[in-house]
Amino acid sequence: MTRTDAAPSGPPRAAVVVTGTEVLTGRVTDRNGPFLAERLRQLGVDVGRVVVVGDRRDDLASALSYLLDEHDLVITSGGLGPTADDLTVEVVAAVQGRVVRHDEALEQRIRDRVAGIVRRRGWSTPTAVLEVGTRKQAMVPEGAHVLEPVGTAPGVVVTPASGEGTPVVVLPGPPGELQPMWAAAEADDLVRAVLDRGREIRQGTVRIWGPPEAELAALLRDLQEETGSPLDEQGLEITTCLRKGELEVVTRYAPAASPAYERLVAALHDRFGDQVFADDARSVDDVVAEALLARGETVATAESCTAGMLAARFADRPGSSAYLLGGLVTYANQAKVDLAGVPQQLLDSVGAVSAEVAEAMAVGARERVGSTYGIGVTGVAGPDGGTAGKPVGLVHVCLAGPSGTRPVELHLGGPRDEIRLRTTIAALHLLRRELED
């Protein structure tokens, strides 16, 4: 049953079911739920729930039944492979009351695609071995619309056999297959009928570096008092999140609530000043990359505890070769001496985790790579290696540039990966502040 009658005024609602025991247990991180949630928001469809289920018939069927009741569109990802634990088509067909039939022409198209992949990879898998999977993947619920395979698995759009009702869009798990296939699904007339009812939902993101979450909460309360009504009644759906030291304020609103949103953004700037580093959804990576490009400047790294994470993070972005020249991973002390030119005497006198060594690393990276800026990072990521004077979580970061050096001393909590990630982000903010000056 669709929600159309119950709530005719709101945007259509969609839910996502992610299948796979590997996702449930965290061995694989789901990227499809977020991709679909964001894409549907752009299309004016609200996604309020993502359900992750293991590869079990009953759990998948129960999740589908629950979501079909409360949503206008349900999308599944995963479970379309050639192995027996891939059950999605079969279960969706059962829930929608459809029998599954073999599609001869589709099977031939899948066979051709499989043959092409086997050829390219140089596999010697016997044809008979492949045929079982091919036949399985060519089983389609009666009356369903087929979405042509991007890899080897076709998707399907399945409505209830009883007639009107919520369609289920069945997509493959690999993001590289799901994303192009979703683009095709958007053009399917059953899906289109839901999307056509979409209402524009805007989303604004403000990012702040520095203040505690309680100060943000206080500002929101003050704003509410000043404007005389709760912010949600003004049409703002605000979520705030503190992560890795950055405060993120994400607001969803209909176009009519734009003035209220503008008031919120102005109040954030007013209260937090230059701690607000982006009010247009840019990340610190974006801000730094754009500033380096605009100034025609370059960067190099010398990393100990992060051991390449900072350099790799610069290189995450296409086109980063315009400003990332190179870097040094100086994990062992000898590498600090040999690669970054840190004096052995300095290491002996103040130790590897020190402001002095961070500075020498930053200067060394800048000189040896020949970049505008050098960033040095040295710290105790743990869990071992901490001392009373230099506990786990103590990190020294230093930026070297044309106008000298800028040191920062961090005291971070949490496990090893958290300390290394927060160090990387703090290093980006150190460079950002230099570039904004």
- Binding to its own copies by residue 119, rule CB under 8 A? no
Interacting span for its own copies (CB under 8 A) from 32-40, 89-97, 253-261, 394-402: 32-40
| Cβ proximity to its own copies, 103 vs 215, nearer residue | 215
d(CA 223, CA 272): 14
SS3 label, residue 309: helix
Residue 174 phi/psi, 5-degree rounding, is -65, 125
Q: Which two tokens stand for residue 158?
A: 């399945």
d(CA 64, CA 89): 12
- We find the least distance from the C-beta atom of residue 49 to its own copies, in angstroms, to be 5
For residues 214-240, one letter each, b for 16 or more C-beta atoms within 10 angstroms of the residue's C-beta and e for the rest, the string is eebeebbeebeeeeeeebeebbbebee
| Cβ proximity to its own copies, 29 vs 162, nearer residue | 29
- Binding to its own copies by residue 226, rule CB under 8 A? no
Tell me the number of residues near its own copies by CB under 8 A: 111
Interacting span for its own copies (CB under 8 A) from 191-199, 284-292, 342-350, 417-425: 417-425
| Cβ proximity to its own copies, 195 vs 361, nearer residue | 361
| Prior bond of 154 cis (ω within 30°) | no
Of residues 128 through 147, those in contact with its own copies by CB under 8 A are 129-130, 132-133
| Cβ proximity to its own copies, 99 vs 315, nearer residue | 315
| Cβ proximity to its own copies, 325 vs 363, nearer residue | 325
- Are residues 252 and 203 in contact, defined by beta-carbon separation less than 8 angstroms? yes
| Cβ proximity to its own copies, 189 vs 316, nearer residue | 316
- Binding to its own copies by residue 414, rule CB under 8 A? yes
| Cβ proximity to its own copies, 168 vs 300, nearer residue | 300
Residue 51 phi/psi, 5-degree rounding, is -110, 125
- Binding to its own copies by residue 273, rule CB under 8 A? no
**CA 130 from centre of chain:** 34
Single residue of 11, 45, 55, 206 touching its own copies by CB under 8 A: 55
**Contact letters (x/-) for its own copies, 152-191, by CB under 8 A?**
------------------------x---------------
DSSP symbols for 337-360: HHHH---HHHHHHH-SSSHHHHHH
d(CA 379, CA 362): 14
Q: Which two tokens stand for residue 363?
A: 């200067």
d(CA 387, CA 374): 28
Interacting span for its own copies (CB under 8 A) from 97-105, 353-361, 380-388, 394-402: 380-388
Interacting span for its own copies (CB under 8 A) from 52-60, 158-166, 184-192, 398-406: 52-60
Of residues 353 through 372, those in contact with its own copies by CB under 8 A are 368-370
